[in-house]
Each structure stands twice: as C-alpha cells, then as structure tokens.
C-alpha cells in the first residue's frame, strides 16, 4: 500500500497548502505507530482516518466518522496513501483543487496493530476522542477495490445502566441510540459531552429555570419543549414553580428544573434534552424571580446572509454598547447566527427589553441595507435581524455550551472578539461538540467573567 505517486499526481504544490514531497521518502516518527482523524469539509463533510504504515499514512474516508457503538458498521472508502507530514496538516484546500475545503484535526494518537492484510486491518486506537478497537475490511463482492467498511469492536450494552454520579444514582437508558444520524453520535456520547463540559456550562445555568428541548427520536426527528418536569423529575432535582400565563396547554404554572449540579445535568441529558434554554434572569433560594442580570441580542441571518454578516452587525452593536458603558460578550447560537450578552444591573424587568429594542431600531435606521429590527419575513432577505425580543422575561435563549439539534452536533460556543472581527467564512465559527471540548481544554470559558462587572443602562 505504501506509495505516494497517486497522492502527488492529484496535487499541485504551487496551488495547495498540503505537504507535497518531491519523492517517495518514507519516514518513521516513533516506535509506536500513530493515527490521525481529520474533519474534512469538502463537498460533503466526512472524516479522513489515517494510520501510519511503512513510513506513509494509509487512509480511508469515513463519511460518518468513528464515533460508533460496538458492532456498528459504516462505509470507509480507501483512498491514496498520504505522506507522514499530513498528520499535522490543517488548513483550507483551495477551490478547484482535489479535496477542496477546510481540513481540521479531529483526533490523533497511537494505535496497536492486531492484523494487517490486503483485505483487513484490525487496530486498537488510543486517542483523545476515540479509544478502542476498529476493523477496516474490504467490502465483499464490491467491484471497486476501494470500497471498504469499518466495524467497531466490543460488546453491546444490554438494557438500562445504573451509574453513580456524585452522590446520586441514575438509570441511563438507550445509550447506543444514535441521536445525531449524520455523524453517528450516540446518546452515550451526548451524555459524555455534557459530563465533560459541565464545569463551564453549570455556572451559566445556575439559578435559572431551564426549558428542555427534547429529541427522543434524534436530532433529525421532531422535538418538543418541556417546561414542567413535575411528573417525572426525581425528588432531588431542584424545581421552581413559575407562572405560565401564555401556556398553550392552559396551565397557570409549571415546575421548571434548575440545573445546579452534574447529576441534574446528566438526568436532563438522559431525557434526550439536547438543547437547554434559559431566561436572562435568575430565581432566588425560595423561587422568587429576580430582575434580569443579562441583556441579550440575538443576531439571526436572513436569506442570502450568514454568520459572517452577523459578525459585521455584532461589531456595530458592540460599538453602541461601548458608548453606553456596557461590555458585550459574543457566542455562536450553535445554529446559524450569533448572540451577544451584556451583564447589567436593573430594577425593572422590562428595562432591558426597552433598551435593546431602541438600540436595534436605531441601527436598523442607520444601516437599512444590512439590518432589520422586525420579524417580518418579507423584509429579512439579505439582512440580519437584531432580535431584541429575547429580553422579554417570558422568553429564553439557548445556554452557552448547549448542543443544538443540527446535523453535525454543533453547540452554542463562546468566542472572542478577535474571532468575530476575523470571520470571513461561515465555517470558521461552526463548532461541533468535539471542537467545543477542545476549545475549553485550551482556552477555558471565554464567558468566565460575564457577571463580574455589570453595567447600568443609560436613562
């Protein structure tokens, strides 16, 4: 398999940032062979799995990636060998070139070899995202010799699993159920994401009543909002009873969950509550509603616009906030747009909404070609909506680090202002659950100081 001629034939070193060696010069990096998985945003998102072998990287394109349950089998198309230098490659392959699109390292590590033949490769991967056994095998009866499959080895879990989370006992069910079909992300992996992100997520949920958005049949199926958890919440889950005057079910009140600790977060994730939505205000120890402590602007791109346009609008909103002595904190919505928080001190619950509306309408008058401040669909084409209405005490915003029910399991992600001003392509600010965890490991919580210096709204 070790042959770089096909690799070089498909690439022009003058046009691509990929490493293109002049000759077949096999190299050995270490005594323990390495692997790398690269997230490749080509015509369709897929994951390139590369194993070191005889001084090159033997490669497969796996459309749905390696996050798989034991016994699960997926397509894995065998591709040309790559040079060892490719293990560090991240970047943008230009349009018109072979494999055009953005490449990011999704996982890397070492592997142990169990079997290597012309038709079957069995390995044990030891990475940060994947750990365990995988068998790549040529598809039986396939006319194309490059049509391979990959199978995850291991024993399937049977039935619910009882686990201990801190001082609570939880029964977790349907752990192998795929909740994100496009990438094969299972319920167990959703639970693990929330477990890992909990240290930075929980402070943003503290003392806020949570509206759960549940997807029991997966992100591509119908979802529903759940506010009242009184029928099924364990007695140790903190709840607060709040009035629901606009309830579509005619209920006068609902018992909302308040997610204050890891066991409660795991309980919610086990309900397939992929999304967590919270208001801009908190409740006190006895459940009383406090005035808002956050101002929020939801920047929603209309037809023919993207998050890139939202970034330009965010810069304008930031300038207005700066002028009023307020500090803006950006995050992605995890869907299509961007959201800005500003910590505030107010006494009247409606004060933040009035300020946000006035600011949004002012910018819409100044920049009518770019911004709209009303929901009317006919006026939104080519413009970004500054949705000020989420400051209404009855409304909620997706919480920082919450997953979204989007095909690639993206999450609402805090970002820096440098990332906002430097954004020129939409996929620069699209972060999957795996990427969010890596960002947190490297950068911590970019919203950690959100509540340290609340500002006062101008009169």
- Cβ atoms of residues 211 and 226 within 8 Å: yes
According to the model, what pLDDT value does residue 236 have?
A: 97
- Encode the chain (459 residues) as per-residue pLDDT tens digits: 467 999 999 999 999 999 998 775 556 556 789 999 999 999 888 999 999 999 999 999 999 899 887 888 899 999 999 999 999 999 999 999 999 999 999 999 999 999 999 999 999 999 988 889 999 999 876 667 788 999 998 766 667 888 899 999 999 998 888 899 888 888 988 999 999 999 999 999 999 999 999 999 999 999 999 999 999 999 999 999 999 877 666 788 999 999 999 999 999 999 999 999 999 999 999 999 999 999 999 999 999 999 999 999 999 999 999 999 999 999 999 999 999 999 999 999 999 999 999 999 999 999 999 999 998 877 889 999 999 999 999 999 999 999 999 999 999 999 999 999 999 999 999 999 989 999 999 999 999 999 999 999 998
Residue 143: what pLDDT? 67
* pLDDT at residue 248 in the model: 67
Q: Do 339 and 333 touch, CB atoms closer than 8 A? A: yes
Structure tokens at 285: 């120890």
Q: What pLDDT shows up at residue 380?
A: 86
pTM: 0.73
- pLDDT of 1 reads 47
Find tokens 């989420």 and name the residue.
390
Rg (CA), the chain: 25
Which pLDDT belongs to residue 25? Answer: 58
The Cα–Cα gap between 157 and 172 comes to: 11
Chain position carrying tokens 């037809």: 303
Measured between alpha carbons, how far is 123 from 217 in angstroms, rounded to an integer? 32
Cα-Cα-Cα-Cα dihedral of 11, 12, 13, 18, to 10°?
-30
Q: Say how many CA atoms lie within 13 Å of 156 toward its Cβ.
A: 10
Q: Rounded to whole angstroms, how far apart are CA atoms 361 and 371?
A: 9
Euclidean distance between the first and the last CA atom of the chain, given in angstroms as a whole number: 72
Place of tokens 């072998």: 53
Positive/negative CA dihedral, 287, 290, 293, 297: positive
**Rounded to whole angstroms, how far apart are CA atoms 147 and 165?**
43
């Amino acid at each position: 398999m070790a042959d770089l001629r096909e690799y070089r034939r498909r690439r022009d070193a003058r046009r691509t940032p990929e490493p293109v060696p002049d000759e077949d010069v096999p190299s050995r990096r270490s005594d323990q062979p390495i692997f790398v998985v690269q997230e490749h945003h080509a015509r369709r998102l897929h994951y390139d799995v590369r194993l070191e072998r005889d001084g090159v990287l033997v490669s497969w394109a796996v459309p749905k990636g390696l996050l798989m349950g034991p016994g699960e089998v997926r397509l894995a198309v065998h591709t040309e060998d790559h040079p060892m230098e490719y293990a560090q490659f991240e970047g943008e392959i230009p349009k018109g070139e072979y494999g055009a699109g953005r490449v990011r390292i999704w996982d890397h590590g070492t592997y142990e070899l169990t079997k290597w033949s012309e038709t079957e490769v069995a390995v044990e991967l030891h990475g940060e995202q994947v750990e365990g056994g995988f068998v790549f095998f040529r598809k039986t009866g396939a006319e194309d010799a490059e049509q391979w499959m990959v199978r995850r080895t291991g024993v399937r879990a049977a039935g619910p699993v009882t686990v201990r989370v801190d001082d609570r006992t939880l029964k977790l069910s349907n752990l192998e159920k795929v909740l994100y079909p496009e990438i094969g992300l299972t319920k167990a992996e959703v639970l693990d994401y929330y477990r890992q992100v909990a240290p930075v997520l929980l402070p943003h949920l503290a003392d806020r009543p949570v509206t759960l958005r549940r997807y029991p049949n997966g992100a591509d199926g119908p979802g529903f909002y759940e506010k009242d958890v009184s029928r099924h919440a364990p007695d140790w889950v903190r709840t607060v009873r709040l009035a629901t005057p606009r309830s579509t079910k005619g209920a006068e009140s609902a018992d909302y969950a308040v997610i204050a600790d890891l066991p409660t977060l795991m309980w919610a994730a086990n309900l397939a509550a992929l999304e967590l939505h919270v208001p801009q205000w908190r409740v006190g120890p006895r459940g009383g509603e406090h005035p808002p402590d956050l101002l929020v602007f939801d920047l929603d791109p209309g037809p023919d616009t993207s998050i890139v346009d939202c970034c330009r609008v965010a810069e304008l909103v930031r300038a207005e906030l700066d002028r009023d002595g307020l500090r803006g904190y950006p995050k992605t919505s995890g869907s299509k747009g961007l959201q800005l928080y500003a910590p505030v001190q107010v006494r009247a619950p409606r004060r933040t909404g009035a300020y946000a509306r006035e600011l949004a309408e002012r910018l819409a008058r100044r920049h009518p070609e770019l911004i709209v401040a009303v929901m009317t669909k006919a006026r939104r084409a080519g413009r970004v909506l500054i949705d000020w209405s989420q400051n209404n005490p009855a409304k909620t915003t997706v919480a920082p680090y919450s997953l979204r029910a989007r095909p690639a399991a993206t999450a609402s992600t805090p970002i820096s202002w440098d990332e906002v001003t430097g954004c020129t392509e939409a996929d620069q600010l699209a972060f999957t659950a795996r990427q969010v965890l890596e960002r947190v490991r490297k950068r911590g919580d970019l919203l950690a100081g959100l509540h340290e210096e609340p500002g006062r709204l101008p009169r």
